[in-house]
Structure 1
Amino acid sequence: QDGGEEFYFMHQALYSALIAADKIDASNTMLPHEKYTNFSSMMAAKDNKFKGSKNNLNDIRNSIFNDVQKSIVEYAGKRMFSITSPTGTGKTYTGFFAALKLSQMLGGNKKIIYCLPFTSIIDQNFSSLRELLQTIDSFNKQESQYIIKHHNLSNIDYKSLDTEYKNTQAEILIENWDSGIIVTTFVQLLETLIGSRNRMLKKFHAFRNSIILLDEVQSIDIEYLKLVDNVLLNAVKYLNCRIILMTATKPLILPQATELIPDCKYYFSKLSRTKLMPVLKKMDTETFMEKFYDKIKDKSCLIICNTIGESLDIYNKFKTTGREIYYLSTNLLPIHRSKRIEHIKERLSSKAKIVLVSTQVVEAGVDIDFDMVIRDIAPLDSIIQSAGRCNRNGRLQEKGLVYIVTLIDNKGSYYANHVYGTTLVNLTMSLLSTKSQIIEEEYYDLINRYYTEVNNLKNQDLSLKLIDSMKNLRFSTDSDSNFIGLDKFSLIKNNPDYVDVFFRIDDTAENIYQQFLNMLSEKNHQRQREMYLQIKNKFREYTISIPQKYYKKFEFNKFNNTGILNLPYEGCRDYYNEETGFKRDASEDFMFF
């Protein structure tokens, strides 16, 4: 009864070690030797990569990097740190090398757990770190001993010098975080630290003595901030972790962390890449087109919408103008989305004046740079992230304009309220309404005012109930009691009105689908799992979530009580467009998930 967090962490660490060992033993998996890179060799690789890169922005990035290196040496005895710097100032390498230096100061061989909010950013940052590690002799033969990425879409492959692992064994090692560097999601981090699912808890013991990097932590739902703050503080205390928090919009979490940039406000004042231009009068999409079409002539422009219905409406209006225009949202199959992003990058690098209409999928982590950004109203932290897609590399002679508009649907309601509710949107509009423009040098103070207000507004009751359940080891929810068990904690909000559908849109997809059916009919469980892991990621490349109302349009194959909704090739021609994705009813509006 109320044993406190110490008993929770003790229980979870012991239970984690038990179930991890059980899985390893039952699968006859040989444990690999984790490999740890050293600071000096990685610095040499970094310096070689960036030699000759000279401009004002790179000078600022180098200055921030050097400030952090000096501070981490000075404050190595501390346990919690923060790096607060503007978007586009090189936090990936700055944070990683801070962790490497800290590991060196603490005696070396510390597991580095690099956590990010979105899988798109994970792939990008993983590639950046992997590029440095490839300078190590024999790295390619033992890559996974040095670094792995772990999220629900990552490949199941463990490369080791000594052992060739089957897919099922590789899955165990990846899920146990058996590597020197882990690049993963907030979901994997927090649903392991807070939760009751065996699959997550297997790696709880891996946190001990580790260095945890948290990048873009503002993406965590504000109602969980008190809970996350509590669990991170106790991970430091009971698992001997070190934590480095990195963000351009630092929320009110771990306020006692030591800031590694002594005068972080200075760097916000040094950058003059963008300015926010609030246009807060309600307008529908027709009025929006009339007001903004001329403003974006001769400019590359990113328009970020809040819902899929809104984005499709604006895209279709722009299509009639003759501009080179592209569309991006989760309405597109992942395989088409990734190809579209690469093509957009190529067009921007050739200085094409394209227009991209998108949902929030481009808000953080997608490294693109437009002359202008137009963002439908959203919470302020989302707006600041959107501004990071405008004049990102400081190439324009004048500040890039980031217009904030307030678009409404045909019922007169803000599209933003469908996604974010009213509290944060109203607060943001209140803060933005005081000025006709806000330059980048003022973002730092604006963000701080925003989070101060948020802290006063947001209900933390759910966090407090989950903290109480941690203290009392309440892992499951009892319907007869008023407490909430840890089994109810989830960073991902499930929408019961949406279902996953596989699109058999081409020969490759059809081949994957047939492999899936063969896998389902396999009687041997071990063999079935191997077959599933071989096609898992390829399968998801052709899968999107759609509203349940379309259920009857799809075939359903069922083997051993398992199945998948799917659309055959003939149906894809009727219900899928490679430009905009799944064809929805024009009269309806859809939230972005």
Structure 2
Amino acid sequence: MKYLGHTKDGKCFTGEENSQELITHLKNVSNYAEKFAMSFDAGEMGALLGLVHDLGKYQINFQDRIRGRSKVKVDHATLGAKVLAESWKEMGWLHGMVVAGHHTGLKDSGCGSNMGDNTYSSRINNYQGQDTEYSNEINIPSDFKPKMINCDNETMSFAFATYFKMLFSCLVDADWTDTEEYITDISRDSLPYTIQELDKKLISGIPANNGSFINNIRAEILKDCQEASQREQGLFTLTVPTGGGKTLSSLSFALQHALKHNLKRIIYVIPYTSIIEQNADVIANILGKEFVLEHHSQVDETKGILGEDDIEEDIKKRIKWASENWDIPIILTTNVQFFESFFSNKPSKARKLHNIAESVVIFDEAQMLPRELLSPSMYAISELVTNYKVTAILCSATQPAISQYKYEKLKISEIIGNPGELAKKLKRVEYEVIGKKSDEDILEMFAENRKTLCIVNSRKHAYALYKLVSEDERFKNIYHLSTLMHCTNRREVLKKVKERLEKNDDVILIATSLVEAGVDIDFPVVMRSIAGIDNIIQAGGRANREGKLKKGRVLVFEPTSDAGKIPKVIQSMASLTKEVIAVLGEEAFEMKGVTMYFENLYHASSSDNILDSKNILDEFEIKGNSYRFNFETVAKKYKIIEDNTENIIINLSKESKELTEELRQHIFKRVSTRKLQQYSVSIYKNEYQKLLEENALEVLDSGFNILNNNQYYKGETGLDIFTDNNKNAECSII
């Protein structure tokens, strides 16, 4: 009998000649998984998992189903896990978690009294599949050599959990890749490139030093980074004040470090999509767009893959194939995408993880790592450095005191020789604390300072201030920025603002915190609503950025309007800032103040267990022969953005209309979903529900939401969600 693994169109049976033999699929997946896992010295194990992952397809009832003789669903993933468990006891059982979950996701391991119906243990123990003759085609090796993992008693449980997650990533990517290549007849070849070629492009593309004071300092920072790139792999900090050119300097470090240590790619992990937009443009213009992937969660291209019974199978598959596996040299992504993928149990999100191995990972604005999840986040970074040939760089102008939350034995090294002295050299602003201000007070301050950037704490306050200023005839050239505007729209606004500033025109820009990090803009005056000291200093980096003035001004105020109410998520940081200012005065915004702020912030947080508020690290535990790996529980717990949000495609441009038409026709392409990220806005569930009730949205059967009423989107302020009854709007801080 010829055993089949896939039909040509993934659905209908049109004869054995149009079907992939199962043994061919298993060998192909084994080869891919071996290749992927070799990046962390687990190639032999990857090959084995690929070989056994679909052993259940040898069951006669599966062969009947694939030939169209039966419609009964067949569990074809559990048999491979059971074979491993029976062959190699505990270690085989543990590796079987990877095989059993390669379609539906990694489950909680389940053992002892915690063995629920939906656990891996329950699945193995209750498996009642048919007998098969897989041994006629598949030879299971007699010995079992798992990877040696570098860990100690403190880190062992987390290290093994990460190891299984990485193998899971290799298997999923291998399985999906072979299936896609067979069905489409298109080979998913990697982009040809060498790190050496990219480094040469960067060297020739870095702007020449014009001899100015600022550029001379940037040249010193670049030199420090290039020299440090020759050090051994590990965990680094890069403490550079805003305006120090750390984007290109850190990229130069990364490329030359990758050259020295034969690494494959550079990954930028950034808090906001707005920073990604600018950094991606800068890097792509130098290295070439084909080498740079801008990947974040504004469009969820895997939406609806699992658990959505009302979505047709072929649509699910096409969306699944559009998911990213990060097989590209330069990746720019967000904290949300990076860490939630790392802690996810879903195949679609975990697929990319193995490509983090053998990389330089740059965490830009490291002070914005999620505080409530800081301990598990730092464990993730530490484990990647320890066992996956990753060099990690924590970049910040206000380096947080996070060293105690990494692996204790992992050393950390600063790239810049004297960060304190560098901060003094690059100080270009004076900070003034101006107390409580109403929106009307702020309006009058704009009248006195006609070139001002005002950064507030919520989208609601930015919207209210913009409306107030727009109605005042004294002002011209008023602009607004928030994440209610899609990426392309925001780029257009920033371009106009820069043009106004270059012409020395009056210009008022009212924005949320999305502009205070990574956005290259230069105002003489910046007003900042009270927040964390790190936020205020980052905002100060938008004042006198190029050092053309003797000193720029940063005015720190406390808003009194209802719209300006400080969101709950930052109230504790704002209060702590006030305390540091009361103690240190002007020094609050220097290195001394930053150190005091973060030490107090993390001390208070750790005493209240806020740094692992969900007790995520407790979900992984090894005690003797007892194992707890609660992958599904952790995936549900680790959420950087707690409120459920929905992504809305703003369908107003010629390009977006062409792309959304592809979605309507069930055409899902990676290149298209990447482009759609530029036309998407994320909103809260209650805001989304309101748009649904007002028939403003077209919801496709694939799960994508398209704005179909242009009255709800204005180029000046973005998606209009604000009403008197909107309770969640004030929580939307960017």
State TM-score, norm by structure 2: 0.67
State the distance in 2 between where 1:419 and 1:362 align. Answer: 21
- Residue 502 of structure 1 deviates from its aligned partner by 5.3
> Given that residues 19 and 202 in structure 1 are in contact (C-alpha distance below 8 angstroms), is that contact kept between their aligned partners in structure 2?
yes
Instruction: Indicate which of 376, 380, 384 corresponds to 1:231.
Output: 380
- Residue 263 of structure 1 deviates from its aligned partner by 0.8
When residues 534 and 576 of structure 1 are mapped into structure 2, their CA distance, relative to the original with a 3 A threshold, is: closer
Instruction: Indicate which of 209, 216, 219 corresponds to 1:59.
Output: 216
Match of 2:717 in 1: 580
Read off the aligned partner of 2:560 and give its amino acid letter: I
State the distance in 2 between where 1:351 and 1:19 align. Answer: 55
Please list every run of 5 or more consecutive structure 2 residues that lacks an aligned counterpart in the other structure.
1-110, 112-152, 302-316, 405-410, 622-627
How does 1:119-134 map onto structure 2 within 5 Å?
Answer: 119-134=273-288
State the distance in 2 between where 1:321 and 1:247 align. Answer: 40
How does 1:62-461 map onto structure 2 within 5 Å?
Answer: 62-73=219-230, 76-106=231-261, 108-134=262-288, 143-144=290-291, 147-152=292-297, 175-254=324-403, 256-280=411-435, 282-290=436-444, 292-296=445-449, 299-319=450-470, 320-324=472-476, 325-396=478-549, 398-410=550-562, 415-416=565-566, 418-434=567-583, 437-438=586-587, 443-458=590-605, 459-460=608-609
Q: After the TM superposition, which of the residue ranges 35-44 and 52-61 deviates more from structure 2?
A: 35-44
The higher radius of gyration belongs to: 2
When residues 264 and 348 of structure 1 are mapped into structure 2, their CA distance, relative to the original with a 3 A threshold, is: same
> Given that residues 155 and 537 in structure 1 are in contact (C-alpha distance below 8 angstroms), is that contact kept between their aligned partners in structure 2?
no
State the distance in 1 between where 2:283 and 2:660 align. Answer: 34
State the distance in 2 between where 1:561 and 1:172 align. Answer: 13
Match of 1:480 in 2: none
CA RMSD of aligned residues (A): 3.3
- Residue 383 of structure 1 deviates from its aligned partner by 1.1
> Given that residues 27 and 169 in structure 1 are in contact (C-alpha distance below 8 angstroms), is that contact kept between their aligned partners in structure 2?
no
**What do residues 264-321 of structure 1 show as CA deviations (whole Å, max 9, x unaligned)?**
11110112311211123x332223334x24531xx41001111233223322332314
Higher RCO (C-alpha 8 Å, min separation 6): 1
Match of 1:14 in 2: 167
Read off the aligned partner of 2:565 and give its amino acid letter: Y
Read off the aligned partner of 1:489 and give its amino acid letter: Y
> Given that residues 649 and 707 in structure 2 are in contact (C-alpha distance below 8 angstroms), is that contact kept between their aligned partners in structure 1?
yes
When residues 419 and 363 of structure 1 are mapped into structure 2, their CA distance, relative to the original with a 3 A threshold, is: farther
State the distance in 2 between where 1:530 and 1:486 align. Answer: 26
State TM-score, norm by structure 1: 0.81
State the distance in 2 between where 1:249 and 1:235 align. Answer: 24
Match of 1:468 in 2: 618
> Given that residues 197 and 487 in structure 1 are in contact (C-alpha distance below 8 angstroms), is that contact kept between their aligned partners in structure 2?
no
Instruction: Indicate which of 491, 495, 498 corresponds to 2:640.
Output: 491
Q: After the TM superposition, which of the residue ranges 204-213 and 400-409 deviates more from structure 2?
A: 204-213
> Given that residues 207 and 241 in structure 1 are in contact (C-alpha distance below 8 angstroms), is that contact kept between their aligned partners in structure 2?
yes
When residues 125 and 335 of structure 1 are mapped into structure 2, their CA distance, relative to the original with a 3 A threshold, is: closer
When residues 555 and 195 of structure 1 are mapped into structure 2, their CA distance, relative to the original with a 3 A threshold, is: closer
**What do residues 23-68 of structure 1 show as CA deviations (whole Å, max 9, x unaligned)?**
0010015242454544587357535642352200010011111123
Among all aligned residue pairs of Structure 1 and Structure 2, give the percentage whose two residues are the same amino acid. Answer: 25
Please list every run of 5 or more consecutive structure 1 residues that lacks an aligned counterpart in the other structure.
135-139, 157-167, 478-484, 520-527
Read off the aligned partner of 1:351 and give its amino acid letter: N
When residues 101 and 506 of structure 1 are mapped into structure 2, their CA distance, relative to the original with a 3 A threshold, is: closer
- Residue 118 of structure 1 deviates from its aligned partner by 2.1
State the distance in 2 between where 1:446 and 1:566 align. Answer: 46
State the distance in 2 between where 1:559 and 1:132 align. Answer: 38
> Given that residues 149 and 182 in structure 1 are in contact (C-alpha distance below 8 angstroms), is that contact kept between their aligned partners in structure 2?
yes
- Residue 538 of structure 1 deviates from its aligned partner by 4.2
Aligned length: 538
**What do residues 329-386 of structure 1 show as CA deviations (whole Å, max 9, x unaligned)?**
2333544333222211211222212111112221222211111000111111111111
Q: After the TM superposition, which of the residue ranges 147-156 and 198-207 deviates more from structure 2?
A: 147-156
Read off the aligned partner of 1:368 and give its amino acid letter: I
State the distance in 1 between where 2:459 and 2:197 align. Answer: 47
> Given that residues 81 and 258 in structure 1 are in contact (C-alpha distance below 8 angstroms), is that contact kept between their aligned partners in structure 2?
yes
**What do residues 543-577 of structure 1 show as CA deviations (whole Å, max 9, x unaligned)?**
563624454322455665857464434xx1xx544
> Given that residues 500 and 545 in structure 1 are in contact (C-alpha distance below 8 angstroms), is that contact kept between their aligned partners in structure 2?
yes
When residues 133 and 238 of structure 1 are mapped into structure 2, their CA distance, relative to the original with a 3 A threshold, is: same
